[in-house]
Amino acid sequence: MTLDIITSDTLAPIRHGFFSRRGGASSGVFAGLNCGTGSTDQTEIVQINRARVAAAMQVPPEHLTGVHQVHSSDVVTVTAPLNGDRPRADALVTSTPGIALSVLTADCQPVLFADAGAQVIGAAHAGWRGALDGVLDATVDAMVALGASRENIRAVIGPSISQRAYEVGPEFFEAFLDEDPGNGRFFAGGDGDRMQFDLPAFGLHRLRSAGIGGAEWTRHCTYSDPDRFYSYRRATHEKEADYGRLISVIRL
């Protein structure tokens, strides 16, 4: 099966892709293109999947660069392939051609950034904690430090969990209100004391507040489309032992 790659005209002409689970070598609960080295999938199968992604992005596998994601606001500036080293962070930026920046997700937001004129790109993993703590804002700042212009940066949020699938409790809601009472607009009422959180809308809000030139969400829900996407929350609800990780990539 060929790879299924979602792209956006917003990031053109920069080469990029939000890869779905289709077209990979993994089986069982990981069936498809599982690119998560932290999963319990067979290491050699994950490497085959990652090599397919690298080939699609037209880079050697060792140039497919990622970080050890920890739900932080930390950003790494990459100037050369990391040779297997994965610093603890949740975003990467570069102005070096031939390095493919990647993030892994399974409900959290994968966000790809580009200032095509300045030839500066970025990639961020933004779950609710990272987004609330400022990982998207920090990625923009790191791109500006490399020569990007804030008003020329474009960002696209890829497949993420949607509001209708993201039920949260009162402590979660309070954490957002403590940060800014205006964050209440990203929640809708649910059953009892539960609420539905709109993660992509919050991500778009943070991106636009950072002053960039444009931002959009591809409007794909990871939870609601098991044939196309992995989902941590869906795997938890179905009591599966583990789950695959989607990869999103951008390169100069």
Strand partners, 83: none
Task: Render pLDDT for 147-191 as a digit per residue (tens, 0 to 9).
Answer: 999 999 999 999 999 999 999 999 999 999 999 999 999 999 888
Q: Which residues contact 114 (CB under 8 A, 6 or more apart)?
A: 11, 14, 16, 120, 121, 122, 153, 154, 155, 250
pTM: 0.97
Strand partners, 248: 18, 103
> Domains of the chain: which residue ranges?
5-162+198-251
- Distances 65 to 62, 98, 175, 232, 233 between C-alpha atoms, Å: 7, 10, 32, 23, 26
Size of the chain, expressed as the number of residues it contains: 252
Model confidence at 53, pLDDT cuts 50, 70, 90, reads very high
- Distances 43 to 36, 123, 172 between C-alpha atoms, Å: 9, 24, 35
Yes or no: say if 214 and 182 are a contact pair by the CB < 8 Å rule: no
Domain 5-162+198-251 - what CATH class? Answer: alpha beta
Q: What is the mean pLDDT of the chain?
A: 96
Yes or no: say if 43 and 28 are a contact pair by the CB < 8 Å rule: no
